[in-house]
């Protein structure tokens, strides 16, 4: 699987569609897979929702798109892709509707594509992926693109009925030296008093977000940042649920090579659902969906401990949630080691460097398999002087997701080889740190 698609809460159920190759665990022959959940945690696999139509405008693939409620009719806008004789890809917006409550069956609009070409006179690098919403009685659609030699861009269209679209203009054009040449998977939403625009630029291999204002035809960015600094999250999509929350999923790609993916028989996972929350300090607030707490099982905790060197945690495992609040104090580095072998030959280190204010995931010793990714990823956390490090870490076999201080995320992939690489420990280097609280839970499986 790759990108999340068509996120929508319909008749009380959450629907997660996703880019899916049913034939092999590598990218290709793109269909839409489908899963349903009542609680964002437990999912039911559904039959394939959309497949390429031989001889149709999407015969090469049904690429990414989104879902909307068209006054009671669930409607998808996706990218239909066809190969041209010269080997170039023709990417055009297509529409499909469903008439069953589980959104199992989709009917492609017979007059697809709903937009027959990119904006005239513009030399585009791609024209795909959709963000659609209704405002002031009219439908708005964003399409990801890039203008050759100019930069990544997001085009805006408007429509009275989702079928007839009028081109408006680019809402934002990036600087190719900073933000890549083509923007995949644009997603625009309001959060508090501001707007957030996410894009996944080629060739950056990470997702950027801009915070700023959208006035109906142009987006004015106030700030720009990386959505997840772990190096694995890409092509996220968000939607508003019935509680008014803005929930996001992202694709986490693999950190092992194609032969290992073929041997495993699968590749790619969804991130945990994340909720965006407005903040007053100008940053984008992100937290794991609180529903995940329903998976908490066996628990251990520690309160108010001063420590230097290690503190062993008496819970071990490959499916854990850890919540810690640590004041570095005199320590130069503090953090947590997970998936540790008893002799330390395998371990993944989540480390905060107080002097440089860098939070990192260090995978140099994550796996004895030398073929998997092992480079470190880090980001500035922006802690103020007295602010403690607040970590929430989810470990799920090869997936590690770190949430820090309500605004910083690093998702990573690790592949320990030893069955006893299960240990958890806190550490402080170079001085005494203070642990205000630590809670660790073993997490239940989401599968019956």
Closest CA to 187 of 179, 199, 175: 199
CA distance 377 to 100: 44
Residues 6+ apart with CB under 8 A from 95: 75, 76, 77, 78, 108, 109, 112, 114, 162, 163
Length of the chain: 448
**Residue number with CB closer to ligand DQQ (89 or 297):** 89
**Residue number with CB closer to ligand DQQ (234 or 239):** 234
User: Tokens for 286?
Assistant: 């992100």
In angstroms, give the least distance from the CB of 18 to ligand DQQ.
9
Residues 6+ apart with CB under 8 A from 313: 300, 302, 322, 423, 424, 425, 426, 438, 440
In angstroms, give the least distance from the CB of 199 to ligand DQQ.
10
50: part of which helix (H) or strand (E)? strand 43-50
CA distance 140 to 158: 5
Q: Site residues (CB under 6 A) for ligand DQQ?
A: 2-3, 19, 30, 63-64, 79, 128-129, 184-185, 200, 234-235
Q: Do you find a cis peptide bond into 203, omega within 30 degrees of 0?
A: yes
In angstroms, give the least distance from the CB of 129 to ligand DQQ.
5
User: Tokens for 62?
Assistant: 């049904």
CA distance 145 to 249: 21
In angstroms, give the least distance from the CB of 124 to ligand DQQ.
13
Tokens 């642990």 correspond to 435
**Alpha-carbon distances, residue 177 vs 153, 206, 235, 245 (angstroms):** 13, 15, 20, 34
* Max intra-chain CA distance, the chain: 68
**Residue number with CB closer to ligand DQQ (2 or 112):** 2
User: Tokens for 268?
Assistant: 């790619």
In angstroms, give the least distance from the CB of 78 to ligand DQQ.
8
**Residue number with CB closer to ligand DQQ (3 or 362):** 3
In angstroms, give the least distance from the CB of 202 to ligand DQQ.
8
**Residue number with CB closer to ligand DQQ (187 or 401):** 187
Q: What are phi and psi of 190, to 5 degrees?
A: -90, 140
In angstroms, give the least distance from the CB of 61 to ligand DQQ.
7
Contact, 267 vs 404, CB < 8 A? no
How many CB atoms lie under 10 A from the CB of residue 378?
18
Sheet containing 138-147: order of strands: 124-135, 138-147, 151-159, 166-173
In angstroms, give the least distance from the CB of 54 to ligand DQQ.
19
Contact, 177 vs 198, CB < 8 A? no
**Residue number with CB closer to ligand DQQ (128 or 246):** 128
In angstroms, give the least distance from the CB of 225 to ligand DQQ.
20
**Residue number with CB closer to ligand DQQ (233 or 339):** 233
Residues 6+ apart with CB under 8 A from 328: 334, 352, 354, 389, 428, 433
Q: Known catalytic residue: 3?
A: yes
Contact, 333 vs 428, CB < 8 A? yes
Dihedral, CA atoms, 126, 131, 136, 139, nearest 10 degrees? 60
**Residue number with CB closer to ligand DQQ (63 or 352):** 63
Catalytic residue among 3, 58, 129, 373: 3
**Residue number with CB closer to ligand DQQ (89 or 158):** 89
Annotated catalytic residues are 3
């Amino acid at each position: 699987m790759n990108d999340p698609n068509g996120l929508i809460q319909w008749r009380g159920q959450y629907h997660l569609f996703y880019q899916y190759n049913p034939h092999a665990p590598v990218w290709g022959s793109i269909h839409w897979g489908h899963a349903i959940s009542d609680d964002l945690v437990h999912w039911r696999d559904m039959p394939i929702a959309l497949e390429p139509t031989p001889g149709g405008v999407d015969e090469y693939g049904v690429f990414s798109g989104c879902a909307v409620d068209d006054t009671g009719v669930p409607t998808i806008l996706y990218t239909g892709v066809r190969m041209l004789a010269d080997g170039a890809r023709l990417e055009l917006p297509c529409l499909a509707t469903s008439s069953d409550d589980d959104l199992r069956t989709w009917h492609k609009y017979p007059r697809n594509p709903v937009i027959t070409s990119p904006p005239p006179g513009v030399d585009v690098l791609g024209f795909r992926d959709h963000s659609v919403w209704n405002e002031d009685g009219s439908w708005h659609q964003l399409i990801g693109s890039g203008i050759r030699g100019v930069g990544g861009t997001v085009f805006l269209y408007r429509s009275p009925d989702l079928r007839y679209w009028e081109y408006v203009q680019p809402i934002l054009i990036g600087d190719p030296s900073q933000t890549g040449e083509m923007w995949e998977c644009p997603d625009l939403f309001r959060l508090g008093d501001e707007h957030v625009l996410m894009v996944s630029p080629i060739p950056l291999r990470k997702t950027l977000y801009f915070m700023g204002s959208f006035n109906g035809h142009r987006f004015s960015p106030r700030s720009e940042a990386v959505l997840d600094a772990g190096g694995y999250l890409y092509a996220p999509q968000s939607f508003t649920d019935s509680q008014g929350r803005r929930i996001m999923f992202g694709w986490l790609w693999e950190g092992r090579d194609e032969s290992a993916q073929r041997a495993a028989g699968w590749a790619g996972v969804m991130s945990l659902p994340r909720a965006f929350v407005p903040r007053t300090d100008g940053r984008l607030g992100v937290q794991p969906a609180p529903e995940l707490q329903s998976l908490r099982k066996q628990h251990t905790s520690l309160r108010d401990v001063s420590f230097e060197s290690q503190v062993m945690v008496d819970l071990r495992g490959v499916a854990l949630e850890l919540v810690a609040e640590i004041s570095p104090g005199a320590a130069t580095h503090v953090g947590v080691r997970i998936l540790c072998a008893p002799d330390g030959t395998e371990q993944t280190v989540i480390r905060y460097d107080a002097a440089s204010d860098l939070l990192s995931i260090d995978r140099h010793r994550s796996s004895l398999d030398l073929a998997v990714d092992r480079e470190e990823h880090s980001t500035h956390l922006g802690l103020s002087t007295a602010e403690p490090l607040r970590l929430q870490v989810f470990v799920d076999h090869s997936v590690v997701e770190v949430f820090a201080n309500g605004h910083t995320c690093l998702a990573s992939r690790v592949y320990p080889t030893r069955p006893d690489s299960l240990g958890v420990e806190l550490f402080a280097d170079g001085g005494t740190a203070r642990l205000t609280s630590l809670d660790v839970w073993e997490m239940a499986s989401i599968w019956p």
